[in-house]
Amino acid sequence: MKPNDSAGKLGFACWILAAISVLAAPAELRVPLTAAGGEVDDRVILADINRHTARLMESNATVRCADMLRVPQPKQCKLELRAAGREKITAAETLRRSRAGVLIISNYYKCNRCPNWHSGVASGFMLTADGAFCTSYHVLENQANETLVIVTGDGRVAPVVELLAADPVSDLAILRAAGKDFTPLPVAAAVEAGDKIRVLSHPDSQFYVFSEGIVSRRFVDIRPAGQRSMLAITADFAKGSSGAPVFDETGAVVASVNNTRSTYYNTTDKGVNDNLQMVFKNCVSTRHLLEMVRGK
């Protein structure tokens, strides 16, 4: 792309902002998280995230979500992903091995009901040691968000400084956080209905909730802009879990948490759903993530 193109100017400006952000960032910030399996104090963690994000913004270490979205959004990027293993491991071992690479995504926004700034919560997982990670595209796209900050499972706090690739159809985004020596998680795509899976996520700001279940089915989700490959699973998750990793029995990420869909027996004359029968828990297959990284 030519340097005098308007899109090229925006891309260069975003690169400069990211470089300045890294240079301006204060010394490494940390949130006191417990080890896998230990007690978690959600209120302390959320307060620390909010405080650290404010500090990063004051030091000009953050990049605005609007600026990341304003530049052209590539559909692919080149990354060397960690290879999946072959040996099946226990749930406890999955939690122990993966915890550091499972992310809290803090979406920082100005409240419209009070004068304060707040930290919303989503989920994600680290792909490379130099800060590339995956989450849901809608986490970045939310217009209320000023900026994004990640917290790793071992308590490191870092600003999100760059959008590497985006696929709105599958609802996946690959971004980069400032820093190095992160813990990447292995990625695979070979999973079938009936296979055992595990989820580690942050439902409703309740941090590092671990659940287990099976793949109940694989299906095609038809969307206005295209279609995507999905898994329905029986492991629990809820709002705040968007972008969280779904693990197979080897500890590899095989899907990304995406949405729930409730099925009711009927709808009343006033349009109210009545008699909840089932909640489908739907996740995006990592097939799409691998296409974003390696190409089809």
pLDDT in tens, the chain (296 residues): 434 444 444 444 454 444 444 444 445 677 777 667 788 899 999 999 999 999 999 999 999 999 999 988 899 999 999 999 999 999 999 999 999 999 999 999 998 888 889 999 999 999 999 999 999 999 999 888 999 999 999 999 999 999 999 999 999 999 999 999 999 999 998 899 999 999 999 999 999 999 999 999 999 999 888 999 999 999 999 999 999 999 999 999 999 999 999 999 998 888 889 899 999 999 999 999 999 998 65
Give the CATH H-level superfamily of domain 6-177: Trypsin-like serine proteases (2.40.10.10)
Fold type of domain 196-294:
Thrombin, subunit H (2.40.10)
Please compute, for residue 210, the number of CA atoms within 13 A of its CA located in the half-sphere on the CB side.
17
Task: Domain ranges for the chain, please list them.
Answer: 6-177, 196-294
User: Where do we find the tokens 């990027």?
Assistant: 77
Query: In this structure, what token pair is assigned to residue 3?
Result: 């340097």
Nearest to 107 by CA among 68, 73, 153: 68
d(CA 217, CA 233): 7
Domains 6-177 and 196-294 share a fold: yes
